[in-house]
């Protein structure tokens, strides 16, 4: 009797999940997209907040809040590969570097020369707490890993790092001993069979995909596109579907997803590059979804595009925060001399 009841409960839950997904519209209306644009646009550029220094390229910000302060995880490329660093701020405007949290490692490691980290399980609510959520007693960070030296050289795959320590203090995070996905997997798809780049993990309490943890990652086939993977435990991951969820043809880049929840909508901030001859620069944009699977792309003005001496080549790779009525848009700024740092634009002139 108890076994039968348990089966009924499981089946009812599964039917509810499937039904909920089907109830959502697959397309977000244009008027909703325009409301999102008005909410998130950041026309006021303040300049670099963490500049490249001593020949180092600074890239890929991700921001969280803890104990009344702000922290930023970002990556540095020094010619050998990527390492991951931590910075601190009182008010999101001035930043102080604290130290490394993922460094080069032993030459037997699969990720010896590449460890580009991106925070996982940050509170996804737009204008929310932006605090890190623990799972299984740990804080989590996904990352781009690889063993070849050079700029994104060799086979690149996502890995997973974690810590039981204080994430606001610089210390080496532990890492799983193998990639969580690979372009060499047996179930690899047509669009992610060369390299897998940045990965971004959120927790979905409604399990819209049937799983609590969702990863968006951009990967290379004949162009870079954004697709999905899912997990029940942050350790074992599987691809969700065989096609990307956001792409723009057979050239350029659609990449570096950063997802937040805005009311009934999920908003994916991302960057585009070189889709056609009219856009041979990098810029930030967004897409929206009701169900985390079907995404409607914004086709209007970019959120950020090159315009200033510090970002006149690329203005891309968004990390968005709304705090006390102001939107803070952190992004990677690259000038025409290829100097690379993290810049900030805001919704108000501060």
Q: How far apart are the first and last CA of the chain?
A: 65
> Where does 268-336 have alpha helices with state H?
none
| 71, two tokens | 């922290």
DSSP-assigned letter for residue 272:
E
Q: What is the 3-state secondary structure (H, E, C) of 20-47?
A: HHHHCCCCCCHHHHHHHHHHHCCCEEEE
Cα distance between residue 240 and residue 27, in whole Å: 19
Cα distance between residue 179 and residue 229, in whole Å: 13
Helix H or strand E encompassing 13: helix 2-23
Cα distance between residue 100 and residue 62, in whole Å: 15
User: pLDDT at position 62, please?
Assistant: 97
User: pLDDT at position 14, please?
Assistant: 43
Cα distance between residue 116 and residue 144, in whole Å: 5
> In this predicted model, what pLDDT tens digit does every residue of 304-317 receive, in sequence order?
999 999 999 999 99
Place of tokens 């060499």: 184
pLDDT at 17 over 50: no
- Find the mean pLDDT for residues 124-141: 98
> In this predicted model, what pLDDT tens digit does every residue of 245-287 receive, in sequence order?
999 999 899 999 999 999 999 999 999 999 987 777 899 999 9
- Report the share of the chain in percent with pLDDT over 90: 89
Phi-psi region of 62 (alpha: psi -120 to 50; beta: other; left: phi over 0): beta
Q: Closest Cα partner for 153 from 73, 228, 79?
A: 79
Residues 6 or more apart from 308 whose CB is under 8 A from it? Answer: 45, 47, 333
| 99, two tokens | 């130290």
User: pLDDT at position 278, please?
Assistant: 75
Cα distance between residue 105 and residue 297, in whole Å: 39
CATH topology of domain 2-346: Tachylectin-2; Chain A (2.115.10)
Q: What are phi and psi of 125, to 5 degrees?
A: -70, 125
- Find the mean pLDDT for residues 69-86: 98
Q: Do the beta carbons of residue 111 and residue 126 sit within 8 Å?
A: no
Phi-psi region of 137 (alpha: psi -120 to 50; beta: other; left: phi over 0): left
- Judged by average pLDDT, the poorest of 17-26, 101-110, 144-153, 320-329 is 17-26
Distances (CA, A) of 144 to 119, 156, 161, 256: 12, 7, 11, 11
User: pLDDT at position 19, please?
Assistant: 41
> In this predicted model, what pLDDT tens digit does every residue of 137-194 receive, in sequence order?
999 999 999 999 999 999 999 999 999 999 999 999 999 999 999 999 999 999 999 9
């Amino acid at each position: 009797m108890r076994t039968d009841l348990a089966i009924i409960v499981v089946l009812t839950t599964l039917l509810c999940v499937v039904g909920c997904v089907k109830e959502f519209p697959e397309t977000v209306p244009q008027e909703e997209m325009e409301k999102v644009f008005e909410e998130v646009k950041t026309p006021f550029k303040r300049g670099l907040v963490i500049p490249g220094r001593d020949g180092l390229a600074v890239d890929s910000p991700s921001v969280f809040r803890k104990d009344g302060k702000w922290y930023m995880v970002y990556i540095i490329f020094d010619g050998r590969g990527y390492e991951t660093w931590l910075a601190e701020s009182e008010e999101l405007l001035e930043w102080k570097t604290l130290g490394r949290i993922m460094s080069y490692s032993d030459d037997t490691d699969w990720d010896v020369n590449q460890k580009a980290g991106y925070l996982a399980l940050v509170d996804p609510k737009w204008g929310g707490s932006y605090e890190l959520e623990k799972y299984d007693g740990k804080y989590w960070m996904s990352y781009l890993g690889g063993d070849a030296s050079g700029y994104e050289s060799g086979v690149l795959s996502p890995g997973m790092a974690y810590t039981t320590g204080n994430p606001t203090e610089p210390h080496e995070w532990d890492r799983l001993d193998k990639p969580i996905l690979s372009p060499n997997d047996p179930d690899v798809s047509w669009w992610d069979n060369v390299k897998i780049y940045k990965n971004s993990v959120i927790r979905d309490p409604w399990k819209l995909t049937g799983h609590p943890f969702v990863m968006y990652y951009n990967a290379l086939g004949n162009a870079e596109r954004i697709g999905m993977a899912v997990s029940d435990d942050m350790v074992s991951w599987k691809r969700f579907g065989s096609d990307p969820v956001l792409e723009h043809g057979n050239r350029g880049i659609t990449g570096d997803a950063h997802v937040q929840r805005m009311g009934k909508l999920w908003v994916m901030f991302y960057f585009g590059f070189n889709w056609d001859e009219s856009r041979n620069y990098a810029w930030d944009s967004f897409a929206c979804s009701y169900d985390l699977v079907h995404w409607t792309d914004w086709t209007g003005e970019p959120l950020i595009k090159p315009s200033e001496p510090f970002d006149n080549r690329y203005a891309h790779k968004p990390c968005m925060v709304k705090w006390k009525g102001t939107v803070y848009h952190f992004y990677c700024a690259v000038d025409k001399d290829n100097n690379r740092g993290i810049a900030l634009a805001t919704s108000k002139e501060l």
